[in-house]
């Protein structure tokens, strides 16, 4: 085997290690969450398998984690939780731990399932997230929720979708949106300012962990054209074409090309040793947000890969960053 072949196998092994450890981290968190669920039964109610929309014959479901403490006068703040899995695998059940943690702190959490690639290509996943947002606004009163304070929390590809959801809605705030809510349409028709419109229609805040923000980066384009041995071609499954075949869809699916001054404040957590989502993805995104006057907090963690480390001190930093991110979501 030549030097190039050995390098490719080494890169494949490193990335598989990243994927394996990230999956282990999610499973561990969910196992701990389930163990704690009986203790949280007096604090959190879980309503599972709620159908929020039907697209292409697929019934889309979400799970709600509802605090049992009385809601504030304006209603519970809401968090849309979006799972990772490279847009191809994963489940809303992967976000149980986040639902329990945030609901225990007094927020209503919707862990949202969305259609997966390759059966469904982009923008199916984003459309499902938009449908979940509309459902939450329309049904807010049924759950004592505040329809005007909805945030998003996503991991990896879920963080990517959370950013796209918030950035695109804020970018479209001055235009007529295909939203089913009558109040939202009236708001646009009345020519209210873009900032007020984006706050009414879109998200208040976004937390994204290890999110890919620029899919047009050279290494992602090359991966779609020449995937590593034994690695699924996730980007090609998701986008349906290489960059050269359809650059428009690659740009449209990249959050960095949708930054705008009306964007919701963002909180990004990124590992400096992440091989799946290199840290420059978060750094360039934060710079782009600041350049247009957007608000962004970026936490870079030394030694952290794609969500997990065997070193306790690094995981302690991650847990501290998560705690800060949850406080960020809770602030008015």
Q: How confident is the model over 185-196, as a mean pLDDT?
A: 44
pLDDT of res. 82: 98
Q: What is the pLDDT of residues 294-316, one digit of tens each?
A: 999 999 999 998 887 778 999 89
Task: Specify which of 7-16, 127-136, 185-194 reaches the highest per-range mean pLDDT.
Answer: 127-136
**Exposed, middle or buried, 57 (CB in 10 Å: 0-12/13-18/19+)?**
exposed
pLDDT band at 230; cut points 50, 70, 90 = confident
Structure tokens at 214: 């620029």
Length of the chain measured in residues: 332
Task: Tally Cβ neighbours within 10 Å of residue 1.
Answer: 7
| pLDDT above 90 coverage of the chain, percent | 71
Q: How confident is the model over 121-142, as a mean pLDDT?
A: 97
Q: Which residues contact 139 (CB under 8 A, 6 or more apart)?
A: 145
pLDDT band at 180; cut points 50, 70, 90 = very low
Per-position DSSP letters for 247-280, written without gaps between them: HHHHHHT-GGGG--TTPPPEEEEEETT-SSS-TH
Strand runs labelled E in the chain: 44-55, 58-67, 76-82, 108-112, 145-155, 206-209, 266-271, 296-301
Q: What is the pLDDT of residues 33-55, one digit of tens each?
A: 566 666 666 789 999 999 999 99
Q: How confident is the model over 130-141, as a mean pLDDT?
A: 96
Looking at the predicted structure, is the pLDDT value of residue 219 above 70? yes
Bridge partners of 267, per DSSP, are: 207, 297
Looking at the predicted structure, is the pLDDT value of residue 90 above 70? yes
Angle of helix 96-104 relative to helix 312-330, nearest 10 degrees, comes to 60
pLDDT of res. 231: 82
Residue 77 dihedral angles phi and psi, to the nearest 5°: -70, 150
pLDDT of res. 137: 96
Looking at the predicted structure, is the pLDDT value of residue 193 above 60? no
**Exposed, middle or buried, 165 (CB in 10 Å: 0-12/13-18/19+)?**
buried
pLDDT of res. 5: 44
Looking at the predicted structure, is the pLDDT value of residue 191 above 50? no
pLDDT band at 24; cut points 50, 70, 90 = low
Q: How confident is the model over 232-254, as a mean pLDDT?
A: 97
Please determine, looking at this structure, whether the domain spanning 3-330 carries the CATH number 4.10.220.20.
no
Looking at the predicted structure, is the pLDDT value of residue 167 above 60? yes
Q: How confident is the model over 113-141, as a mean pLDDT?
A: 97
Q: What is the pLDDT of the chain when averaged over all its residues? A: 86
Q: How confident is the model over 125-139, as a mean pLDDT?
A: 96
pLDDT of res. 269: 98
DSSP type of residue 70: P
């Amino acid at each position: 085997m030549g030097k190039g072949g050995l390098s490719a196998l080494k890169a494949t092994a490193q990335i598989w290690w990243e994927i394996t450890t990230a999956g282990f981290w999610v499973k561990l968190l969910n196992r701990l969450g389930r163990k704690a669920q009986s203790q949280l039964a007096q604090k959190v109610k879980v309503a599972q398998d709620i159908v929020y929309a039907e697209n292409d014959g697929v019934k889309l479901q979400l799970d709600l984690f509802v605090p049992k403490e009385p809601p504030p006068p304006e209603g519970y703040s809401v968090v849309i939780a979006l799972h990772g899995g490279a847009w191809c695998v994963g489940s809303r059940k992967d976000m149980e731990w986040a639902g329990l943690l945030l609901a225990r702190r007094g927020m209503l959490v919707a862990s949202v399932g969305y259609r997966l690639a390759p059966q469904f290509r982009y923008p199916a996943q984003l459309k499902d997230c938009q449908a979940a947002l509309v459902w939450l606004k329309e049904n807010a009163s049924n759950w004592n929720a505040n329809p005007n304070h909805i945030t998003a929390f996503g991991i990896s590809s879920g963080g990517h979708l959370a950013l796209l959801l918030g950035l695109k809605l804020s970018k479209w705030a001055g235009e007529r949106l295909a939203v089913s809510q009558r109040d939202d349409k009236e708001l646009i028709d009345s020519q209210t300012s873009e900032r007020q419109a984006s706050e009414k229609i879109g998200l208040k805040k976004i937390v994204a962990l290890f999110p890919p923000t620029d899919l047009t980066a050279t290494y992602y384009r090359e991966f779609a054209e020449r995937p590593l041995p034994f690695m699924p071609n996730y980007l090609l499954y998701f986008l349906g074409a290489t960059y050269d075949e359809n650059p428009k869809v690659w740009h449209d699916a990249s959050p960095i090309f949708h930054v705008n001054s009306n964007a919701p404040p963002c909180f990004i957590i990124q590992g400096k040793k992440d091989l799946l989502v290199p840290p420059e993805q978060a750094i360039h995104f934060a710079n782009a947000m600041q350049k247009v006057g957007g608000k962004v907090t970026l936490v870079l963690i030394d030694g952290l890969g794609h969500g997990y480390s065997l070193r306790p001190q690094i995981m302690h930093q991650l847990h501290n960053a998560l705690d800060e991110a949850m406080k960020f979501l809770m602030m008015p």
